[in-house]
């Protein structure tokens, strides 16, 4: 459960963060001074039209891009560069083709020079949880797209990060696999309780998984709407078929559509 | 496997056709010696062919190895330093479009007519495919994998060793294959212009005497040396494949 | 504009290299036999200009002719292989075999077969430049999207239409890549042919100059040769640009 006490340090906080890319001939304003935080144990979903600056937000949270204005705090400290306790996942799994699934999951340990023996149990446990037991020795090219993305989740979680950043992690998958992956993540979530930012195009995914949803405006990104998802945990995927759930998704759809109309007017 | 057998069959058919054509159509053996005559020439001059063949083979192999080392080293340096790239790439590109093999006489002027001249020329010729292959390979790392390295805070060395190098190998191997052929050609053209020793010299000498069977025998040996050199790269590719254990992405068509 | 900026940096680098070269030769008093200064090469170029021009015409003509023949023959060969499975089975393995041969080493054979002179020189140059074209073109023709071919078949397209409207456009970028290699190889073939035995051409001139240790003339002749080779290459690049503008081919 999100820790709501005001004294608790947030996992990450954006203070008036803005980003302009020095493109030519005109600089490109991607993010317009946004402020928000993610509490410890909270899963925050970010929805918004394509190209509005969501990935840019996430890249800044990962320490891969520097904000041009404002600042970021990670666990109460200023964020400079990639943080050891942050796990990241992108749209494509980018497993290294010459490593087995297990070695791919252990790759972060390799880079951080942590002996594999220390984390291999955890890696196996994660693989089992996402349903990849028996595929540890397989090569990425022998897996389906969904299985590769499961391996990528395990890789992001193997060093037990306290913040997980996910940029449309399932949008390269087909609709059925995608819902399945949402369920896998939901299940994994109820067990681990990490802080997370989850960028998605799917309203269903956002409401089903998140504690809170931010809807971004068109570029440059600002927070157009913030919504606390009222459903208790643990949640069941069947929640998505209830009228309460549908009411919320309909509301969000309306907000997004209104944002687009405002742009056209 | 079946493709290899079919190729072998086609080659055998070609050889048989050749032999038959020369026997049934009255062609002067000076114009086209039949395969049997080539075999005869091989058996008739073993000492001569072995001596010159050895000279060609070891100059080509050494030239290839040195070109491979130099090409990989400079390729890595060029892809690491933008300044170096800006300074040297114009020359590399200019040399790519001029007929480099025509520059052989310069090496005679500089290094005389001995083995150093031929080897230096072979290195010069074989160096560029390796350089280009190394650079293309190192530039061709999947962007997602590089991003992963940045996320994990991998050092420059870790990124190079654990990610960029494995991604680069297929292109590098393609460059090495071209280089293997080029090194042999470099030595042979060197032998043409220095006219001292080697199979290239035998080919030229035999041709001037109208000894077509000897010429074709020397060319057969040249092909064998070429296949051995190519085999060296193929063995490296096989070893890499055993480690990689996944379908290799195709190297650039060279 | 960018077009004006583009050659500036390499040009500057080349001028710098020339200046460095001239300075080095003067300062270290390098004997002209080893490394003539750019100045003495220029003098040699000027003095031997009529001779150089005559031999350049011979070599350039042979190489360009061979290039054009190789281009036509390579395209024809590859097209034949795509249109006829029988031709593929007969020709493809042999094509691959020749790919492994050290082809340039076969030069003296052409002299045995065709004697001294233009026919043997051009035949040899065609022989070494044909393969890059044929293999690139074949790769390109085979790279066509099978779905597009199916689509064309479904609409009743004939084999020729599929070739003309789907395979050929896909193959064009591959063909140009092969043609660039062939342009260089045609000059290589012509010059190596002249090294082996000839009585004219820049390659022959260079070998004569090597015999007389006339290094400035070697440099001058090779410079002319490089410019000729680069010019043919540039023509291919220009043709590629034109084709891309005309047909909007990818890559
Ligand atoms: N490195 C960059 N340089 C220049 N422009 C960029 C860069 N990264 C993203 N952009 C631009 O910033 C805008 C927002 O991109 P992004 O954050 O990827 O959007 P989203 O993830 O919401 O689809 C886009 O218009 C994109 O083209
Ligand atoms: Mg995005």
Cβ–Cβ gap B91/C13 under 8 Å: yes
**Smallest Cα distance from C155 to chain B, Å:** 33
User: In which band, very low, low, confident or very high, does the pLDDT at B114 lie, cut at 50, 70 and 90?
Assistant: confident
**Smallest Cα distance from A80 to chain B, Å:** 12
User: Which pLDDT score is estimated for A12?
Assistant: 92
Tell me the per-residue pLDDT of A60-77, one tens digit each, with 9 for 90 and over.
Answer: 999 888 999 989 999 888
Residue B74 C-alpha to ligand 1 middle, in angstroms?
A: 35
User: A182: Cβ below 6 Å to ligand 1?
Assistant: no
Mean pLDDT (chain A) is 86
User: Which pLDDT score is estimated for A260?
Assistant: 66
pLDDT at C1 over 80: no
pLDDT at C60 over 50: yes
For atom 20 of ligand 1, the residue with the nearest CA is A51
Chain A residue numbers with beta carbons less than 8 Å from the beta carbon of B161 are none
Cβ–Cβ gap A111/B142 under 8 Å: no
DSSP per position, A185-236:
HHHHHHHH--EEEEE-S-HHHHHHH-SEEEEE-SSSB-EEEEEE----SS--
Checking DSSP bridges between strand A69-74 and strand A163-167, what pairing results, if any?
A: unpaired
- Residues β-bridged to residue A17: A34
Which ligand has the nearest atom to the CA of A168? 2
Q: In the block, which residue shows the tokens 């340039």?
A: C104
> For chain A, how long is the longest CA-to-CA vector?
60
Cβ–Cβ gap B11/C93 under 8 Å: yes
Highest mean pLDDT among B39-53, B135-149, C155-169: B135-149
Tell me the per-residue pLDDT of B208-248, one tens digit each, with 9 for 90 and over.
Answer: 888 888 888 898 899 899 989 989 998 998 888 888 877 76
Identify the structural domains of chain B with CATH numbers, from first to last.
54-245 (1.10.3720.10)
For atom 12 of ligand 1, the residue with the nearest CA is A30
> Of all residues in chain A, what percent carry a pLDDT higher than 90?
34
User: In which band, very low, low, confident or very high, does the pLDDT at B253 lie, cut at 50, 70 and 90?
Assistant: very low
Query: What is this structure's pTM?
Result: 0.82
Three-state secondary structure call for residue A172: coil
Tell me the per-residue pLDDT of A194-238, one tens digit each, with 9 for 90 and over.
Answer: 899 999 888 888 898 899 999 988 888 888 888 898 888 888 888
In what helix (H) or strand (E) does residue A31 lie, and over which residues does it extend? strand A28-38
What's the order of all strands across the beta sheet hosting A77-78?
Answer: A28-38, A12-21, A69-74, A77-78
pLDDT at C189 over 80: yes
Range scoring the smallest mean pLDDT among A14-18, A256-260, B78-82, C201-205: A256-260
> Of all residues in chain A, what percent carry a pLDDT higher than 70?
94
pLDDT at B44 over 60: yes
Average pLDDT over residues C139-155: 84
Neighbours of chain B (3+ CB pairs under 8 A): A, C
Cβ–Cβ gap B246/A84 under 8 Å: no
What is the CATH number assigned to the segment(s) A1-85+190-265?
Answer: 3.40.50.300
For atom 17 of ligand 1, the residue with the nearest CA is A53
Mean pLDDT (chain B) is 86
Interface confidence, given as ipTM, is 0.84
Half-sphere exposure of B235 (CA within 13 A, CB side): 7
Average pLDDT over residues C93-114: 80
Residue A56 C-alpha to ligand 1 middle, in angstroms?
A: 6
**Sign (positive or negative) of CA dihedral C210, C216, C217, C220:** positive
Cα B76 from Cα B83, distance rounded (Å): 13
Q: What is the total residue count of chain B?
A: 254
User: In which band, very low, low, confident or very high, does the pLDDT at B4 lie, cut at 50, 70 and 90?
Assistant: low
Which ligand has the nearest atom to the CA of A216? 1
pLDDT at A160 over 70: yes
User: Which pLDDT score is estimated for B211?
Assistant: 83
Superfamily of structural domain C38-247: MetI-like (1.10.3720.10)
Q: Which residue of C lies nearest to B183 if distances are taken between CA atoms?
A: C102
User: In which band, very low, low, confident or very high, does the pLDDT at C74 lie, cut at 50, 70 and 90?
Assistant: very high
Cα B18 from Cα B34, distance rounded (Å): 7
Chain C residue numbers with beta carbons less than 8 Å from the beta carbon of B185 are 102, 104-105
> For chain C, how long is the longest CA-to-CA vector?
76
User: Which pLDDT score is estimated for A101?
Assistant: 94
User: In which band, very low, low, confident or very high, does the pLDDT at C2 lie, cut at 50, 70 and 90?
Assistant: very low
Average pLDDT over residues B92-115: 86
**Percent helix / strand / coil, chain A, rounded to 5:** 40, 25, 40
Judged by a CB distance cut-off of 8 A, whether residue B202 touches chain C is: no
Choose between C189 and C7: higher pLDDT: C189
Q: Which residue in C210, C219, C222 is closest to B108 by CB distance?
A: C210
User: Which pLDDT score is estimated for B148?
Assistant: 93
Q: Where are the domains of chain A?
A: 1-85+190-265
pLDDT at A155 over 80: yes
> Of all residues in chain C, what percent carry a pLDDT higher than 70?
94
Cα C34 from Cα A27, distance rounded (Å): 55
Judged by a CB distance cut-off of 8 A, whether residue B71 touches chain C is: no
Cβ–Cβ gap B102/C34 under 8 Å: no
């Amino acid at each position: 459960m999100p820790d709501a006490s005001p004294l608790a340090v947030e996992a990450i906080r954006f203070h008036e963060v803005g980003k302009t890319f020095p493109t030519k001939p005109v600089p490109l304003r991607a993010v317009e001074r946004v402020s928000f935080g993610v509490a410890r144990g909270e899963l925050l979903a970010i929805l918004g039209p394509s190209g509005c600056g969501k990935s840019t937000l996430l890249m800044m949270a990962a320490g891969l891009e520097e904000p041009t204005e404002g600042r970021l705090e990670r666990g109460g400290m200023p964020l400079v560069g990639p943080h050891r306790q942050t796990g990241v996942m992108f749209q494509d799994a980018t497993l290294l083709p010459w490593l087995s699934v297990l070695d791919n999951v252990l790759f972060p340990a390799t880079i951080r020079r942590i002996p594999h023996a220390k984390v291999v149990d955890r890696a196996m446990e994660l693989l089992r949880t996402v349903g990849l037991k028996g595929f540890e020795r397989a090569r990425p090219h022998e897996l389906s797209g969904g299985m590769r993305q499961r391996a990528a989740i395990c890789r992001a979680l193997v060093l037990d990060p306290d913040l997980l950043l996910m940029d449309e992690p399932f949008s390269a998958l087909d609709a059925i696999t995608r819902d399945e992956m949402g369920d896998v993540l939901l299940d994994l979530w109820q067990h681990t309780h990490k802080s997370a930012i989850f960028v998605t195009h799917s309203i269903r995914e956002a409401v089903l998984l998140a504690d809170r949803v931010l809807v971004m405006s068109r570029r440059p990104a600002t927070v157009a709407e913030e919504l606390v998802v009222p459903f208790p945990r643990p949640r069941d995927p069947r929640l998505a078929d209830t009228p309460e759930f549908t009411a919320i998704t309909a509301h969000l759809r309306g907000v997004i559509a209104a944002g687009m109309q405002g742009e056209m007017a | 496997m079946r493709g290899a057998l079919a190729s072998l069959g086609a080659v055998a058919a070609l050889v048989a056709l050749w032999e038959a054509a020369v026997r049934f159509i009255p062609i002067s053996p000076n114009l086209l010696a039949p395969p049997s005559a080539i075999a005869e020439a091989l058996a008739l001059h073993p000492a001569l062919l072995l001596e010159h063949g050895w000279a060609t083979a070891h100059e080509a192999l050494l030239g290839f190895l040195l070109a491979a080392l130099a090409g990989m080293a400079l390729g890595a340096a060029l892809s690491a330093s933008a300044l170096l790239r800006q300074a040297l790439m114009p020359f590399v590109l200019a040399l790519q479009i001029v007929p480099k093999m025509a520059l052989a006489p310069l090496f005679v002027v500089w290094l005389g007519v001995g083995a150093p001249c031929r080897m230096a020329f072979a290195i010069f010729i074989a160096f560029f495919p390796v350089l280009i292959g190394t650079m293309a390979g190192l530039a061709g790392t999947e962007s997602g994998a590089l991003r992963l390295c940045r996320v994990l805070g991998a050092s420059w060395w870790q990124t190079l060793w654990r990610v960029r190098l494995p991604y680069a190998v297929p292109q590098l191997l393609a460059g090495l294959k071209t280089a293997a052929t080029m090194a042999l050609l470099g030595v042979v053209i060197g032998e043409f212009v220095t006219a001292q020793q080697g199979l290239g010299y035998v080919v030229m000498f035999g041709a001037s005497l109208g000894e077509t069977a000897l010429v074709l025998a020397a060319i057969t040996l040249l092909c064998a040396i070429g296949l051995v050199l190519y085999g060296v790269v193929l063995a490296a590719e096989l070893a890499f494949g055993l480690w990689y254990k996944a379908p290799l992405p195709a190297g650039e068509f060279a | 504009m960018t077009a004006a900026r583009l050659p500036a940096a390499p040009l500057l680098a080349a001028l710098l290299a020339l200046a460095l070269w001239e300075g080095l030769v003067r300062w270290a008093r390098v004997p002209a036999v080893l490394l003539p200064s750019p100045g003495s090469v220029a003098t040699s170029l000027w003095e031997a200009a009529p001779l150089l021009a005559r031999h350049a015409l011979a070599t350039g003509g042979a190489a360009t002719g061979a290039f054009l023949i190789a281009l036509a023959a390579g395209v024809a060969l590859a097209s034949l292989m795509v249109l006829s499975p029988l031709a593929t089975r007969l020709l493809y393995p042999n094509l691959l075999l020749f790919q492994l041969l050290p082809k340039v080493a076969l030069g003296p054979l052409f002299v045995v077969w065709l004697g001294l002179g233009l026919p043997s020189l051009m035949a040899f140059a065609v022989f070494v430049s044909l393969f890059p074209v044929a293999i690139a073109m074949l790769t390109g023709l085979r790279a066509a999207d099978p779905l597009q071919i199916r689509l064309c078949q479904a609409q009743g397209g004939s084999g020729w239409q599929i070739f003309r409207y789907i395979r050929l456009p896909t193959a064009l970028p591959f063909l140009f890549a092969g043609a660039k290699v062939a342009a260089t190889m045609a000059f290589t073939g012509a010059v190596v042919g002249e090294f082996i035995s000839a009585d004219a051409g820049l390659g022959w001139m260079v070998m004569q100059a090597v015999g007389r240790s006339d290094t400035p003339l070697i440099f001058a002749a090779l410079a002319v040769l490089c410019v000729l080779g680069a010019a043919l290459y540039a023509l291919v690049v220009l043709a590629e640009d034109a084709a891309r503008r005309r047909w909007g081919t990818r890559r």
